Amino acid sequence: MLAAAFGQQAPPAEPVAAGAQTPVFTTGVSDVRVVVQVSEDGQIVKGLTKGDFIVADNGQPQPIVSFEQEKQPLDLLLLLDISGSMREHIEEMAATARQALAYLAPGDRVAIMTFGVRTNVHSDWSDNHAEIARQLRTAVDDQDKVGYGTAINNAVVEAAKYISAEQDGNRRSILMVTDNLGINYRINDRMAIGYLLKANAPLNAIVVGRAIRPGPPRPGDNPDYTPADVFVLAQATGGEAVKENKAASFFPQMIERIRDRYTLAYHAPEGAKPGEFRQISVALAPAARQAHPRAVILARSGYYVK
């Protein structure tokens, strides 16, 4: 249902991504790349092979032409809600930053973006993970730059634009830390998801504090004002959203889970029209499903044809 809705209104096109620069994972410019997380009983399932997956494009099975786990370099954007209610959580998270970033591989790059009603790039892309850990300690000082309030979908759109500007071919991912308490003005979930899918950047979230999931809209609700729901954004883009009392308690584990995902690619089907939204589905092959009967698969819901 979500995927069908996305096709009704495509967001502005992102810059055309360059071919991958890494020797361990190469695709053509017309290939569709999908990042996949497989977990069972809350634990990441490692050691799967290309033959363990079935991928379909608009319901039609596709041969997997490239496959990797872990080796592909990662661009990770930390998207931090620094509204007043979040200060304590971000400061505690910064204290575990060295431990969390130790799960990254050499060459993985990290950037920090803070947000309130506006966004601010607190720290640009760097593979100096020790420096990024230091920068996290001062992120809460951006309050005057981002304003007082919580515009989550606006922050997601700006994060997707920022990460889309990178042309290095690295795998991309966004990790948001927020209490999910905010109102979105004129940027609904469908629009935010569209930008994330264009960027091929799963949105992951650690949701803390009094975080609640909003109910469905009621008759008479103003469509220009919608409640924040990062769980919906994560589900549609292949990311993972978890509710935790304290961000610091799950920060290292979330970094590890983002790093340990699989990346597969298939050739884009012929005849697809530019701008068309096409659905992606990923499943385990029968033998793999038998070995992991309770496996949960996270992957993006689709893509826009370039």
Is 55 found in the same domain as 174?
no
Residues 209, 176 share a domain: yes
Q: What is the pLDDT of residues 41-61, one digit of tens each?
A: 999 999 999 999 999 999 999
The answer to whether residue 104 is domain-embedded is: yes
8 contact partners, CB below 8 Å, separation of at least 6: 190
Tell me if 209 is assigned to some domain.
Answer: yes
- Say if residue 231 is in the same domain as residue 124: yes
- 120 pLDDT higher than 80: yes
Question: Which range marks the domain in which residue 100 is found?
Answer: 74-259
Residues 116 and 239 in one domain: yes
pLDDT classification of 204: cutoffs 50, 70, 90: very high
pTM of the model: 0.89
Decide if 170 is inside a domain. yes
User: Which CATH number covers residue 123?
Assistant: 3.40.50.410
Domain count, the chain: 2
pLDDT, mean of residues 176-183 = 94
Whether 91 and 234 map to the same domain: the answer is yes
Q: Are residues 207 and 191 in the same domain?
A: yes
Same domain, yes or no: 55 and 98? no
Please give the C-alpha separations between residue 231 and each of 16, 154, 184, 202, in angstroms, as whole numbers: 28, 16, 15, 12
Q: What is the pLDDT of residue 37?
A: 97
